[in-house]
Amino acid sequence: MKIGLITTLNTNIGDDFIREGIRHLLGDAFKGKKVEFIPINKHNPFSVYPAWHPARLAHRFSGVPLAGRLLGKHAERLASTLGRSFFDDCGLIVQCGAPVVWPDCHKSEWAGPLWTQVIGRLFNRVPVLNLAAGSCYPWEKQPDRLDNRGDLKFIKEILGYCRLTTSRDRLVQRLFASAGSDTQFIPCSAFLAARNKAEKGDLILINYMKGAGHYDWAQSVDADKWEKTVIGLINRLGGRHKLAFICHNEAEMEEAKTLAPDLPRLFPKSIEEYFSVTANAKGALCNRMHASVGMAGQGIPSIAVGTDTRLLMVKALGLNAFYVKDADIDMLEQNLETMLSLGNSEKERLLSLRAETRKRYLEAIKGAL
């Protein structure tokens, strides 16, 4: 059985966690069957077609002025009429987590090529699941409903294609409801990515991003203040705890070196290596939400600090998650020490929630199929 995956490839290991959790679930759901996964990078949406396909050729020339006028405008028509994408041979298609709703999401590069032209053509004969869908809005500008007409139309379209949609945060669940769809609230699939549990580690891991996130979102986040907060926290904790940085890219490695040159910097390159390294942690402070979610699946608690509603994905696990403007040295230190004082009880709570999350996903998937 071939299963198509709409995902993000070769960008950030957090995306790999999302996809890996879904792969585990589908492997369990179709146990006993030979499953072949067909991952398509949504950021390169025309890769859903073979190299020979006219739609892919037309897209390739769309940036050339004359060719763009002659070929680019026909790419959508060619895609819809000729078909034969890699997903055509699949028995199931799954959208793998990540934000699905954000400001102007209908303008995403994959909205037309993947959802309208491929999924819209196939959904009547190939089941489509939208698992671990999330929101990504500025923390200070969280909408009550989908008021953007383009976004509302797009979200209604994709919800209509899917036999099952699960929401990884409460905001996206409310926004889907405003579009007329009730969805199940289940934590992010990245929670299920790790195969190994935490050991009796002694490390506090720090995942640092300049400005505490990918985007400022025009919220006037003071990146220098956040840097000083982290440096101050490291100075306080360093006398009582063993600390190390956990980095997701080269930029974070360089930032970590600037912040605390004497602290170890860990930069695992694979899922297996990542969770082998983090298994030695007793807790963490993270700017990347999927660092928090991934480690939580091992029973490792953390505090997340960020700039947007992806924080809600961490809160869904019962962990503390703070908007960067609300985070200072005293409150972070107090919350970290309180979290660590819970010891094994917090680890067991997270592992129990993981087991329940897995069970709920499998029930939802089997019910939809």
Count CB-CB contacts under 10 A for residue 94: 28
**What DSSP string describes 305-345?**
EESBTTHHHHHTTT--EEEGGG--HHHHHHHHHHHHHTTHH
For residues 143 and 95, membership in a common domain is answered with yes
Looking at the fold, whether 9 and 156 belong to one and the same domain comes out as yes
Q: Show the DSSP H helices in the chain as ranges.
A: 13-29, 54-60, 65-70, 75-82, 120-122, 149-161, 170-178, 223-237, 250-259, 271-278, 289-296, 311-315, 329-341, 344-368
Render the burial of 285-308: b for 16+ CB within 10 Å, e for the rest: bbbbbbbbbbbbbbbbbbbbbbbb
- 251 and 289 in a single domain? The answer is yes
Looking at the fold, whether 181 and 224 belong to one and the same domain comes out as no
Same domain, yes or no: 168 and 309: no
Tell me the DSSP string of 229-272.
HHHHHHHHHTTTSEEEEE-SSHHHHHHHHHH-TTS-EE---SHH
34 exposure class (CB count in 10 Å sphere: 0-12, 13-18, 19+): exposed
Of 210, 301, 209, 195, which is closest to residue 247 (Cα–Cα)?
209
Q: What are 322-344's pLDDT values in tens digits?
A: 999 999 999 999 999 999 999 99
Token code pair at residue 17? 């966690």
Based on the fold, state whether residues 262 and 128 are members of the same structural domain: no
Q: How many Å apart are CA 318 and CA 308, to the nearest integer?
A: 18
Looking at residue 56, its pLDDT comes to 76
Number of domains in the chain: 2
- Structure tokens given for 35: 């499953």
Domain range for 315: 203-350
Report how far apart the first and last C-alpha atoms of the chain are (Å, whole number). 14
> What does the block give as tokens for 224?
């220098």
303: CB partners within 8 A, 6+ apart: 283, 284, 285, 286, 292, 319, 320, 321, 322, 332, 335, 336, 339
Residues 6+ positions from 71 with CB-CB distance below 8 Å:
57, 58, 61, 62
Residues 342 and 364 in one domain: no
Q: What is the pLDDT of residues 83-109, one digit of tens each?
A: 689 999 999 999 999 999 999 999 999
pTM, entire model: 0.94
Domain with residue 207: its CATH number is 3.40.50.2000
For residues 8 and 39, the answer to whether their CB atoms sit within 8 Å is no
With respect to residue 198, please indicate whether it lies within any of the assigned structural domains: no
Give the pLDDT mean for 232-253. 98
pLDDT of 64 above 80: no
Residue 247 in any domain: the answer is yes
Query: Does 197 map to a domain?
Result: no
- Please say whether the beta carbons of 266 and 245 come within 8 A: yes
Tokens representing 345 are: 């009880």
Mean pLDDT value across the chain: 94
What pLDDT is attached to residue 225? 98
Residues 340 and 364 in one domain: no
**Domain-embedded: residue 106:** yes
Do 151 and 121 fall into the same domain?
Answer: yes
Q: Give the DSSP letter of residue 301.
A: -
pLDDT at residue 75 greater than cutoff 70: no
pLDDT at 299 over 90: yes
Cβ atoms 303, 322 nearer than 8 A: yes
Give CA–CA dist 357/355, Å, rounded.
5
Judge if 183 and 215 occupy the same domain.
Answer: no
Q: Does some domain include residue 228?
A: yes
Confidence class of residue 65 from pLDDT cuts 50, 70 and 90?
low
User: Is 266 within a domain?
Assistant: yes
In this structure, are 75 and 177 located in the same domain? yes
For residues 143, 147, 148, 153, the Cα torsion angle rounded to the nearest 10 degrees is 120
CB atoms within 10 A of CB 223: 14
Residue 137 pLDDT: 99
User: What CATH number did the domain enclosing 52 receive?
Assistant: 3.40.50
pLDDT at 200: 87
Say if 300 falls within a structural domain.
yes
In-domain check, residue 29: yes
Model pLDDT, residue 79:
56
Q: Which residues contact 42 (CB under 8 A, 6 or more apart)?
A: 6, 7, 8, 108, 109, 110, 114
32 and 173 housed in the same domain: yes
